[in-house]
Structure 1
């Protein structure tokens, strides 16, 4: 399936005859950057940056190698932890089998998206990710607008993902407090303060411990892959068991009210869709990864595959030891998984230890997610896609990290947490928007890639990680799945729609697209050229 072009192996003397207007070695090597920034900056990395018209400014990631890059991607995805902490909607609409089967087909469909993104990340290994790929592959007439819209959607999605992760940390802490003292009543403003504290903490780590991020990712991934073992062993040994029929075929509607089972499960699949997202996280770290054009796609695919076994192991243990789904959904802790843990071990201390393990893993996931979000935001600002672009797109002169973007991400998460004080519905709607927005960026970028394959004007640039002849069918299947997921993400949580259960993601998505369109025609079209304008020094109109 994958072809790694031998003519593009990492050698100083190598020249690829297929690269358009390939510059000589001196033209590729950047001489105005410090030795610290150059560390791990290989010749192939220099070629890629030169072709994309980018200057190497970031330091830490060229210290990333394959193993800790896989670790980083795995932590951002955090599939089994995210599934345990964010499965309420999936359980409500379909019950145990609804959650299980929707995750299975979500993994199947997302596989084609991951493979498509892996190839695009090898062609253009840049922190911009989707909006850059759209700029490269879209028809010239629509390059700037589609790239600009994709940049806004990607920025919004990743900012909301960080806000969600911080929200989970803060409210899980509240759940722990309730376990210790069942007289405690979780209050929204207290949860908001905890969310703000978590946002500040993970941001501080990304700023002051940035140099140690590759080492930290090695620790993170070890915890990610091995911490689930004591969790599932404890559940399976101590917890009550339900018959296999209830897990695999006992579809149930717990209050969603849809007319039939199929409809119920389709609406509830949003949990599965959200769980398998975020493989593009490593693409946004591409400018900080040594030999990025091969390491990024490999890490993207391997992290996705390696996360499958622990995710299903944790899910099956969780479902088989949940005798009362409605009781778990109604848990005063706010989280079904905390109810299941407490019910399995039978005492508070043991349950708290298990929840603390999940909490620590969520902190690790959030640290990695913020790193990706800040790099994506930095890249889009660097290309004049955001207001205050010169400020957000700046790199700290001594730390060599996009510190302003990290701080901005922190403030965005804190602002999002304020919404929770007034209404959890509004906050949950913004969270749903992240899935829709990210899926939209996948769909736009892959569609543009398909058009480029069809019309070949100009042909796709060569890449060191290629899907070969399977590229077109994989891309088409990815588009079908993205359209399917995009459609179902807009459905309300219940059949009897009200202000409390309406899926406001549809309104917010249309609103964001409308605002970005207005901003583009009023201002951005005069300052935003799109990354493709800098490729090989060419300017497209």
Structure 2
């Protein structure tokens, strides 16, 4: 089978390399289209554009790992919502996420830069608070992505612990077991992002292939081997309020966070945009197509698992369910084979590890971009590139070190560690809301003009110019409004604990962690950063002629 598939993969690699080698010039400057647009943003093109459309879609799909994440985070939706709540909650999150990333895709088409949200805020915010708001947004994005990387590594490590528990019932897991495996996952991601960094697009093409094939490799035996199936009535009408909240509606909204975690982070594509060819077109389309595709197969996996789960409580109370991964017991029950269950679980583990690779790449790029604009301590060092590969090696290493240090927290308290990784939702959604509120204001006041109205591709006074990807008219405004409303709902419920009564170990400390990041950012800005951070710095004051990248 591998031999048969090799020509297809080779063809895909060749097509991506052909796209990456293509250089399109215009305006007579000698710069290619991507570098001209980056120059108009004031930035020097120093990273190599290795990613074509398929490679960046593979990167984003394996970053989101939606069908895999839906399995990994199955407990959250089952506890608060039950099977019906999980189905309808997933659909609600899918539509809301599509609105968020469609709106952000429009901004990415206007200004495809690694800085992403904080750069866009600097472009759209009022002059009186532009630098400050951009700085706070930058810290929220960095905190969010560091938390995603830490959370992804932790989930991969603890899933390995759960697999051991499934195969050896006498095994007694310890906190340090999960921590060591978490560190091993981060080391693996570091190895790929440094020593194999130049081949990352090819790796992501392979992971995209595994992402699709793995979906069917689990779905088909899961449905075919299950001895009994739940009824449609049970799947689509049975709600559960396992958190003992005052109402089923409140429980439903709290249970959304699992689906949110499995589907957010599509802005990874944005932060890689300075390494993508034809970024103003490919980045936004990759964001939208990935959200649509991953959302569809994720929904299919959720339905399949719910139909083969006859007793939700049994799955939640199983040894792997107690560790937070009831899907492993569901696999075992459906196939009645530990070997079969282990193979299916191994696919999820491989893809979860691939997600950590993409998360580290993304987190390192936003760190590099923010340091480039002098928003971080030691910015001169962090921004250095490896000359042969043009990879921000020091920012990758810095990102890995910070994540490893975060893992030390788990040795003392899993509650404290979970508080740190809870920043992933609140941090990124906070940045999404800021960007989308500003964009809604600009589009409603006519401050974003058509490219046909101006010879300048990006700016005309204080007006922005729409990029190639644009949802026009009232429909675009409606999508933008839905994105803001959905973002506020998720941001609000990201601070809620999963059950009542609330005790110290079960408390959601996300609001404390998010507040701490914001307060630190404000303090550092007032004391030091306001002297060095003036928003995205202008590295190129004019577009040079006769220079070809």
TM-score of the two chains, using structure 1 as the length reference = 0.90
Residue 184 (structure 1) aligned to one of 171, 176, 179: 171
1:348 aligns with 2:352: no
SS at match of 1:460: strand
1:307 aligns with 2:294: yes
1:248 aligns with 2:236: yes
Tell me by how many angstroms 1:495 deviates.
2.6
Residue 458 (structure 1) aligned to one of 455, 458, 462: 462
Residue 229 (structure 1) aligned to one of 200, 206, 216: 216
Displacement over 6 Å in runs of 4+: none
Give the Cα–Cα distance (whole angstroms) in 2 for the partners of residues 154 and 79 of structure 1: 21
Q: Contact 1:76–1:368 (CA<8 Å) still a contact in 2?
A: yes
User: Alpha-carbon deviations, 1:438-497, whole Å to 9, x = none?
Assistant: 111110011121222344272212412222223333222211111111111111221311
Residue 12 (structure 1) aligned to one of 14, 25, 34: 25
Q: Contact 2:263–2:295 (CA<8 Å) still a contact in 1?
A: no
Mind listing any 5+ residue stretches in structure 1 that lack a counterpart?
1-9, 16-23, 30-42
Q: Equivalences for 1:18-417 in 2 at 5 Å?
A: 25=29, 29=31, 43-59=32-48, 62-239=49-226, 240-254=228-242, 256-333=243-320, 334=323, 335-417=325-407
Tell me by how many angstroms 1:231 deviates.
0.8
SS at match of 1:493: coil
Q: Contact 2:117–2:431 (CA<8 Å) still a contact in 1?
A: yes
Q: Contact 1:136–1:532 (CA<8 Å) still a contact in 2?
A: no
Partner of 1:524: 529
Tell me by how many angstroms 1:434 deviates.
0.8
Mind listing any 5+ residue stretches in structure 2 that lack a counterpart?
1-22, 448-460, 544-549
Tell me by how many angstroms 1:533 deviates.
5.5
- Which range is displaced more, 354-363 or 319-328? 319-328
- CA spacing shift, 1:534–1:452, aligned 2, 3 Å: farther
1:439 aligns with 2:429: yes
Q: Contact 1:52–1:536 (CA<8 Å) still a contact in 2?
A: no
Tell me by how many angstroms 1:135 deviates.
0.9
Tell me by how many angstroms 1:337 deviates.
0.9
Partner of 2:7: none
Q: Equivalences for 1:496-511 in 2 at 5 Å?
A: 496-511=501-516
- CA spacing shift, 1:156–1:537, aligned 2, 3 Å: farther
1:489 aligns with 2:489: no
User: Alpha-carbon deviations, 1:23-69, whole Å to 9, x = none?
Assistant: x616xx4xxxxxxxxxxxxx21111111111112222xx12111111
TM-score of the two chains, using structure 2 as the length reference = 0.88
Q: Contact 2:364–2:395 (CA<8 Å) still a contact in 1?
A: yes
Give the Cα–Cα distance (whole angstroms) in 1 for the partners of residues 441 and 526 of structure 2: 25
Give the Cα–Cα distance (whole angstroms) in 2 for the partners of residues 400 and 208 of structure 1: 12
User: Alpha-carbon deviations, 1:481-532, whole Å to 9, x = none?
Assistant: 1111111111122131111221100111111111111111111111001116
Give the Cα–Cα distance (whole angstroms) in 2 for the partners of residues 91 and 446 of structure 1: 31
Q: Contact 2:114–2:272 (CA<8 Å) still a contact in 1?
A: yes
Partner of 1:18: none
Aligned residues, how many? Answer: 503
Q: Contact 1:159–1:409 (CA<8 Å) still a contact in 2?
A: yes
Give the Cα–Cα distance (whole angstroms) in 2 for the partners of residues 426 and 331 of structure 1: 25
SS at match of 2:264: coil
